[in-house]
Amino acid sequence: MSEDQGSYLVGVDLIRGNSSSPAFSLIIPAYNEQNGIIPVLDELQATLRAAACEYEIIVVNDGSSDDTGKLLRPYKGIRLLEHRRNCGYGASLKTGIRNAQYPWIVITDADGTYPNDRIPHLIALTAQADMVVGARIGANVQYSNLRKIPKWFLVRFAQWLTRSPIPDLNSGLRVFRKSIVERFLTILPDNFSFTTSITVAMLMSNYAVHYEPIDYHARVGKSKIKPIRDTLRFVQLILRTGVYFAPLRVFMPLAGLFFTGFLITLFQDLFVREDLTERTLILLIAATQIGMFALLADMIDKRTGRL
């Protein structure tokens, strides 16, 4: 963690249990969560101790301006990290991941929306997957209708890009291998798009991702998601991740579109105008350049092995 972001304030012994499930570090980003963070932590500790898990809880106070930090500093049973300023949801997760001591990472929110009692079950499922996502498709899901519309289009776009079904693109309750996600940290964003990007990155790198249905509850306090701004960011980041991992998948359809336009205008030039126009030449050049760029990007991608 950088000097600018924060420092350790509380250190505790790791909780060691007798469970056969793998040990994990549970990371909770917290920004102005004074109304919900303590009940969430109380429930988590009771659940994980009852399941005899071996774990640590890392809470990252992301420059909160309310009493979140004041409530967390004396709280027992957690490791508290603090950013000096608000750095973002993704930045908080990165801080927690870099400081985690166990090979598996669990992330959840501080607002009480996710069924944290399902964490031991999600951990058990890691025996057959590199990432287990709590997909918000259970029987009791309270989700804003306003957010469902852009999410529907985003999910379809991500599924086309990854060629994989994605029941939940950006769930904030998930488990993943620390060693794998550390490879992607430099390309993952510092904002709420972190979970969207890690989903696309894992799928496009052919890692095993399992989706487990969960419920989703109404949050405590006001949501920090801004639908229009964050939807635009999600599109940008999915596209950027797609370019990074599969340039042919992104650029070849665009090259094909220009080439189709070239064929249409060429037909018109030959049989209607009886003259070769500049528009036809421009479309041909654009299609050729985009196609060559896609092939070059794919070649560089294959030669470097990316990460």
- 131-180 tens-digit pLDDT: 999 999 988 887 666 566 777 888 888 898 899 999 999 999 999 999 99
Task: Identify the residue with better confidence: 227 or 198.
Answer: 198
Each residue's pLDDT tens digit, 58-95: 999 999 999 999 999 999 999 999 999 999 999 999 99
Burial class (CB in 10 A: 0-12, 13-18, 19+), 145: exposed
Report d(CA 279, CA 277) in Å as an integer: 5
Is domain 6-245 classified as CATH 3.90.550.10? yes
- pLDDT at position 11 is 44
- pLDDT at position 10 is 43
pTM to 2 decimal places: 0.80
Of 47-51, 102-106, 236-240, the least confident: 236-240
Ordered alpha helix ranges (H), 51-185: 68-72, 89-99, 119-124, 145-162, 178-184
With tokens 């101790």, the residue in question is 49
pLDDT at 289 over 70: yes
Angle between helices 145-162 and 194-204 (to 10 degrees): 20
* Pick from 123, 122, 117, 116: nearest CA to 54: 123
Of 62-71, 252-261, 291-300, the least confident: 291-300
Let me know: does 85 contact 46? Beta carbons within 8 Å.
no
The residue extents of the domains of the chain are 6-245, 247-304
Each residue's pLDDT tens digit, 166-219: 999 999 999 999 999 999 998 888 888 899 989 999 998 899 999 999 999 865
Token representation of residue 36:
């919900």
Let me know: does 165 contact 133? Beta carbons within 8 Å.
no
